[in-house]
């Protein structure tokens, strides 16, 4: 599996460990340390095959390089995946994260970890018992807690900028936003949008979660498949990756796509499919950088909340830079964002 996956990835190193007591494959993917330690969360998931886990880690680590460079942070990109046979609890979970902490510590700071899917600040506290390269521990343990609320603020800022670009003004009053996934990021995003007068259509595989929030915010709900056909101005993917595809893009009714999910495009050609339909796509790694901005600003750069918030507002400015380049060169926004990242990573850049 290494022969076909690693050369195409183009990253620096992958460290693999099989943790026998938990039967877990651990993959730490350090994509780039050009701008600083490779930083990105730890995803824990049950995968059909360990190959799928490695592939996920590789793609996500490369997106972190882009995200961190685009956010102007002194961080490279990385991601770790814990491919578990089932999601562990209690002592078994604790033992797994201690063992994982030893692995991250053995990398001497080339990789800095944090939370991601199915991992929490409490898990990072356990990792932190064994290693110092960890962001997002609980406040009780000296960390800055969950990054999700800051991610939601960043997505909100990006979404508003994309609305201004598509419609000529950033007023959200009367605009309709369809949110796919109302979890740790989608829910606070929905609240901010509702506060600014937007109408919402919500969906979640957890039907009760979507319905309860919809009731509270006076919003509509849609089925998880129907959301692609929902009449709306903005589609905000805040659940899983790969949701923008040859199958779903023709169905979208929105003029804007802006959301939190990592790796939203199923394949690179989907950026052109969106552009051909006249849909303004806010590249995922540009608008979902609020989480890492929160962690790096407060825990690494020694900044206060006001400085962090200034950086979160900067997401809108970065997005405008992307839109401007895309228009100037006649390329998709995704390709424009990649070009800016490439420039920032180029050797010899002042």
Residues in contact with ligand PHE by CB under 6 A are: 39-41, 64, 114, 116, 135, 147, 262, 291-292, 295
Task: Enumerate residues 167-226 that contact ligand NAI by CB under 6 A.
Answer: 180-186, 203-206, 209, 224
Q: Which residue has tokens 């023709």?
A: 250
Q: How far is the CB of 127 from ligand PHE (least distance, A)?
A: 12
15/177 Cα distance (integer angstroms): 41
Radius of gyration of the chain (CA): 19
Count of Cβ atoms closer than 10 Å to residue 278 Cβ: 8
User: In terms of Cα–Cα distance, which of 85, 68, 1 is closest to 30?
Assistant: 68
Residue 135 binds which entry of ligand PHE, ligand NAI, none, with Cβ cut-offs from 5 to 8 Å by kind?
Answer: ligand PHE
Q: How far is the CB of 212 from ligand NAI (least distance, A)?
A: 12
Q: How far is the CB of 16 from ligand NAI (least distance, A)?
A: 22
Q: Which of 240, 301, 309, 345 binds ligand NAI (CB under 6 A)?
A: 240
Cβ-based neighbours of 311, under 8 Å, separated by 6 or more: 71, 72, 293, 297, 303
Cβ-based neighbours of 60, under 8 Å, separated by 6 or more: 29, 40, 43, 79, 81, 116, 262, 263
Q: Is residue 249 part of the contact set for ligand NAI (CB under 6 A)?
A: no
For ligand NAI, the closer of residues 101 and 181 by Cβ is 181
Query: What are the residues facing 236 on neighbouring strands?
Result: 179
Cβ-based neighbours of 312, under 8 Å, separated by 6 or more: 150, 153, 154, 157, 290, 293, 294
For ligand NAI, the closer of residues 205 and 307 by Cβ is 205
Strands (E), the chain: 13-19, 24-32, 38-39, 42-45, 76-83, 111-112, 176-180, 199-203, 220-221, 234-237, 256-257, 280-281
Residue 138 binds which entry of ligand NAI, ligand PHE, none, with Cβ cut-offs from 5 to 8 Å by kind?
Answer: none
288/284 Cα distance (integer angstroms): 6
17/34 Cα distance (integer angstroms): 25
Build a one-symbol-per-residue string for 48-87: x at contacts with ligand NAI by CB under 6 A, - elsewhere: ----------------------------------------
18/53 Cα distance (integer angstroms): 13
Q: Per the residue annotation, which of 45, 67, 79, 211 is the catalytic one?
A: 79
Q: How far is the CB of 289 from ligand NAI (least distance, A)?
A: 7
Q: How far is the CB of 92 from ligand PHE (least distance, A)?
A: 23
Query: What are the residues facing 115 on neighbouring strands?
Result: 42
Q: Is residue 291 part of the contact set for ligand NAI (CB under 6 A)?
A: yes
Q: Is 79 marked active-site?
A: yes
For ligand NAI, the closer of residues 88 and 183 by Cβ is 183
For ligand NAI, the closer of residues 206 and 310 by Cβ is 206
For ligand PHE, the closer of residues 116 and 270 by Cβ is 116
For ligand PHE, the closer of residues 147 and 159 by Cβ is 147
Residue 12 binds which entry of ligand PHE, ligand NAI, none, with Cβ cut-offs from 5 to 8 Å by kind?
Answer: none
215/213 Cα distance (integer angstroms): 5
Residue 120 binds which entry of ligand PHE, ligand NAI, none, with Cβ cut-offs from 5 to 8 Å by kind?
Answer: none
Q: Is residue 283 part of the contact set for ligand NAI (CB under 6 A)?
A: no
Q: How far is the CB of 69 from ligand PHE (least distance, A)?
A: 12
For ligand NAI, the closer of residues 99 and 341 by Cβ is 341
294/196 Cα distance (integer angstroms): 23
Query: What are the residues facing 27 on neighbouring strands?
Result: 16, 81
Residue 186 binds which entry of ligand PHE, ligand NAI, none, with Cβ cut-offs from 5 to 8 Å by kind?
Answer: ligand NAI
Chain residues that interact with ligand NAI, rule: CB under 6 A: 117, 147-148, 151, 180-186, 203-206, 209, 224, 238-241, 260-262, 288, 291
The residues annotated with a catalytic role in the active site are 79
């Amino acid at each position: 599996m290494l022969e076909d996956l690693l050369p195409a990835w183009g990253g620096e190193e992958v460290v693999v460990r099989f943790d026998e007591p938990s039967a877990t494959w651990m993959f730490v993917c350090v994509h780039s340390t050009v701008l600083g330690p490779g930083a990105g969360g730890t995803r824990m998931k049950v995968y059909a095959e360990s190959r799928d886990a490695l592939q996920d880690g590789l793609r996500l680590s490369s997106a972190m390089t882009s995200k961190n460079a685009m956010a102007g942070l002194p961080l490279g990109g990385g991601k770790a995946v814990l491919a578990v046979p089932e999601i562990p609890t209690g002592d078994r979970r604790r033992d797994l994260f201690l063992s994982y902490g030893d692995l991250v510590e053995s990398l001497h700071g080339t990789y800095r970890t944090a939370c991601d899917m199915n991992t929490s600040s409490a898990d990072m506290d356990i990792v932190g018992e064994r290693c110092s390269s960890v962001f997002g521990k609980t406040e009780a343990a000296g960390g800055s807690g969950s990054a999700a609320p800051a991610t939601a603020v960043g997505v909100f800022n990006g979404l508003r900028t994309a609305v201004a670009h598509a419609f000529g003004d950033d007023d959200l009053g009367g605009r309709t936003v369809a949110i796919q996934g109302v979890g740790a990021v989608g829910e606070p995003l929905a609240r901010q949008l509702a506060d600014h007068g937007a109408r919402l259509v919500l969906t979640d595989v957890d039907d009760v979660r979507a319905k309860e929030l919809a009731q509270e915010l006076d919003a509509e709900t849609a089925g998880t498949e129907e959301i692609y056909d929902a009449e709306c101005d903005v589609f905000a993917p805040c659940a899983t990756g790969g949701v923008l595809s040859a199958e779903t893009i023709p169905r979208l009714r929105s003029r804007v796509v802006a959301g939190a999910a990592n790796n939203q495009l199923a394949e690179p050609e989907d950026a052109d499919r969106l552009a051909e339909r006249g849909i303004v796509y806010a590249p995922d790694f540009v608008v979902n950088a609020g989480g890492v901005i929160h962690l790096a600003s407060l825990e690494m750069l020694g900044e206060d909340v006001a400085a962090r918030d200034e950086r979160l507002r900067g997401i809108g400015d970065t997005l405008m830079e992307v839109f401007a380049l895309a228009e100037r060169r006649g390329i998709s926004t995704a390709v424009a964002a990649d070009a800016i990242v490439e420039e920032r990573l180029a050797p010899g850049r002042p």
